[in-house]
Amino acid sequence: MPYFDAASSAPLHPVARQALLAALDEGWADPSRLYREGRRARLLLDAARETAAEAVGCRPDELVFTPSGTRAVHDGIAGALAGRRRAGRHLIVSAVEHSSVLHAAAAHEADGGTVTEVPVDRTGRVAPDAYAAALREAPGGVALACLQSANHEVGTVQPVAEAAEECAAADVPLLVDAAQSLGWGPIEGNWSLLTASAHKWGGPAGVGLLAVRKGVRFRTVQPADERESGRSPGFENLPAIVAAAASLRAVRAEGAAEAERLRGLVERIRARVPELVPDVEVVGDPERRLPHLVTFSCLYVDGEALLHELDRAEFSVSSGSSCTSSTLTPSHVLRAMGVLSEGNVRVSLPRGTAGADVDRFLEALPGVVAGVRERLGAPKPPEAAAGPAPEPEPEPELVVDSLGKRCPIPVIELAKVIGEVPVGGLVTVLADDEAARLDIPAWCEMRGQTYEGERPAERGVAYRVRRRT
């Protein structure tokens, strides 16, 4: 069964497995002790730290191991904010950061700090001048800025080096969440702090990295002990750390060739999916992106149903769609990009993925999507018009009551009735599903209709669409 969700967690690399088993025999003792077994464990820990630091591009004494990537993010943000409290209490993040960064930002706000979210374009990329503007226009002193190296949902690579230059000019440290990209290569630019997670590159779960460059003001917030420079208390999971470092070195050694191979497979998916499946939007930057990840959204499809059907067809994929969550809230990444959220599929290929598995996925996908659409009563793809439609006088608007209905039903009902109003006429969709705020404008853009905004209704929200085609 092809596993296409490496962005969530990559399969354990063979080198990681070998290193883990060896370290279980050799690295079980306390590395802080001076007897023989402790010294042996210390040698393994020091070697792992040197290997990881070389991959990160920092000094070994600037890097500590944490119990997870999320813990590294939370400790890194909290420590930098605490160390620079005199400089200010303002935090800058991009609108598409991983939830661990956004949760830390929310905690900072709850503690009395302030936060700016820098917007992204439709590909999910932050503009360096937008980062510069956020630094310049911040209310009060900026303590820290955060920017991911590449997006976890759509694969877009961020301009970290340019953002780091802007931060350096403003004398603000930049924390980079490198979880998705560290296994593919070093992070360019003059960043100040960096975090990563081993299970994203094929290491074992439960190992994170936190690098803090010398000169960055940093104060550990939680109670400290003598381990990991006082920045990550508790007994080190030495076998997992050794396996994480060994696998990072291994994937880096094979990274260039494997990245080129997987990029070709992803290009095949990006090109073929819109040809095979009607009403699909491929999202993310087509060029500046991770080599193994592609995301697309299908109109008129329930994301949860689509993922279940792909699983029945023996393909493991994930989604940023609101329909995969009981909260009915669209992915914050897709929302920030302003793209379609319904029927969202993220394919992230692990190392070693065979081209034949990608071909089988492309063969299965059209039938799976068509089956889900048929069950939901989705409209058939429209035929090409012979010429521009006439422009008669607008008539009274048509109201569609989709209250209490989950995505993508409000969009399906809109698509079914849009032809019942004349060109220039209005359709108002009443909906209380948060996803409608994103998906109805996205449908209008894909279908050449005009979205005229929203207004409060007695229940839910009224979304107004004017027919243009």
DSSP string, 85-112: TTT-SEEEEETT--HHHHHHHHHHHHTT
Q: Measuring CA to CA, which residue among 324, 332, 336 is closest to residue 98?
A: 332
| DSSP element (H, E) containing 38 | helix 36-56
146, 323, 407, 444: the catalytic one is 323
Q: Measuring CA to CA, which residue among 185, 106, 76, 94 is closest to residue 135?
A: 94
Q: How far apart are CA 59 and CA 210, in angstroms?
A: 12
Grouping H, G, I as helix, E, B as strand and the rest as coil, residue 19 is helix
Q: How far apart are CA 468 and CA 202, in angstroms?
A: 50
Classify 288 in phi/psi space as left (phi over 0), alpha (psi -120 to 50) or beta.
Answer: beta
Number of other residues whose CB lies within 10 A of the CB of residue 441: 20
Strand order in the sheet with 398-401: 398-401, 426-431, 461-466, 450-456
Q: Please enumerate in sequence order all residues whose Cβ is within 8 A of that of 43, keeping only pairs 6 or more positions apart, or say none.
A: none
Grouping H, G, I as helix, E, B as strand and the rest as coil, residue 247 is helix
298 classed as catalytic: no
Grouping H, G, I as helix, E, B as strand and the rest as coil, residue 193 is strand
Structure-block tokens of residue 119: 């917007």
Structure-block tokens of residue 278: 């009607």
Angle at 219 between CA 213 and CA 223, to 5 degrees: 125
- Which residue numbers are catalytic? 323
